[in-house]
Amino acid sequence: MAKHRGKGISAIEYPTGMNQNGDPSQAWIKVKPDGRVDVFSGTADIGNGAKTIQSQIVAEAIGVPYDWVTFDNSNTDSSPVCTGTFASRATFVGGNAVLKAAKEVKLKLLEAAGKEMEISPEDLEINDGEVSVKGSPSEKMGVDEVAGAAAYGHGVLITGTGAQLKPYSEITNSATGEVDSPPHSAISYAACAVEVEVDDETGEVLVLEMTQCYDVGRAINPALVEGQIQGGAMMGLGLGVLENSYPYYPSVDHRGAQYNSYMIPSPLDMPKVKTIIIENPSADGPYGAKGIGEMANNSQPPAIASAVQDAVGIWVTEIPITPEAVLKALEAKNAGDDSVRRDGKLVSFDEELSVNTVASGLSWSA
C-alpha cells in the first residue's frame, strides 16, 4: 500500500449574455446639481462585487471619480428591471445596461457644458470630473458646475437610461438546429491543472497544488476577479472530492439532515493555488469584460479526475471523488474490469470514453 502522485488538466468554456427566454437588465442614472451621480440598477449584489463593478463602469464612461458614484439597488419598487444575479450576467448584462445609461448622461453633460462655454459639445471631453476643450485643457468647467448650471440655469435634470437584451435566436433549420444568431454574446475559456496524492489503502484524494487560468475578457476590477476565481477554486475542490447531497442517489437514504452533516472544504483543505488571468476582450462586453462567475468552480473536478487517473490508473466518473469511489474503482481494476458506469450502465473505456470526454466535464455524474 502506498501513496501515489498524479497530475491532471481540464479545459472548459462558458457562454455569457444569453437570451432564450428573455433576459433583460435595465438601469437609469441621474446627476445631482453638485455633480454627484446616482445609479439605479436592479442587479442584486450577492457578494460578487456587482455594485463596485457597475459603479466603476459608470465612473469611467462619464469621466468622473469613482467616489462620486452612488449605487442604489435597495428595492424592486424603485429599481429598474433586472432578471437576476445568475448565469455570470451581473457584469456583462447589467454592466452593459449601466454603460448605455452612462453614455447618455455624458452626452447631456456635454450639451449643457457647450451652452455654458459657448462651444460645440463635440469639441469637449470629460476627465476626472472636469469638462475641458479638446486640445486646450486649461479651458474647463467642473462637472459639478455644469450640473448646477443645468439644474438652476436651464431647468434640466441630467438623466440617462440603458437596457440590455440580446435578441432571441430563431431556428432557421429545424433539421440541424441551426439558428440565425448565436444564443450567447461571448464565450469565456478556462483551464485548470492540479497535482494530487492518492492513498490506495484508504482511497483518500488530497489535492496538493492547483493552477487555474481564466480568460475574463477584461478584468475591470482585478482584485475582485481574482477573489472570484479563488472562491471558485474552493467550491470546485468541494465538488470534486467532498460535497455530495445524495450519496446514494436516486435513493434519499443517508441524506444529511442538518448543515453540519454536509461536508465542505475549509481553509485548511485548500491546496497551493496559482491564478493566471488572461484578458481577451469581448466585442460585446462592457469595456471588453466577459462573465467570470459560475465557471470559476467548473474546471477543478474534471482536472482532479484526470489527476487521479494519472496517479493510480483509474477513472472515477462521478463526483465527488470520495474514498469509497476510489476504492471501488481500484477493486474493479485489480479484478481486471476496465468498465465504468455511465447513466447507470456499464460501458467500456475503449468504446465510449477518452481522456478528453472526462476532462471536459463530468456531465454524466448524478
Enter the C-alpha cell of residue 115: 451652452
Q: One of 204, 294, 318, 351 is an active-site residue; which one?
A: 294
Bridge partners (DSSP) listed for residue 70: 38
Alpha helices (runs of H) in the chain, residue ranges in sequence order: 50-62, 95-117, 143-152, 222-241, 300-312, 323-334, 349-352, 355-359
Is 116 part of the annotated catalytic residue set?
A: no
How far apart CA 76 and CA 2 sit, in angstroms, is: 58
Tell me if residue 249 falls in helix, strand or coil.
coil
Alpha helices by DSSP H, listed for 196-299, are: 222-241
In the chain, the DSSP E strands lie at: 3-16, 25-31, 37-41, 69-72, 124-127, 130-133, 136-142, 158-164, 171-173, 178-179, 186-199, 205-215, 272-278, 339-342, 345-348
Entry field: residues in the chain: 366
Would you name the residues annotated as active-site residues? 294
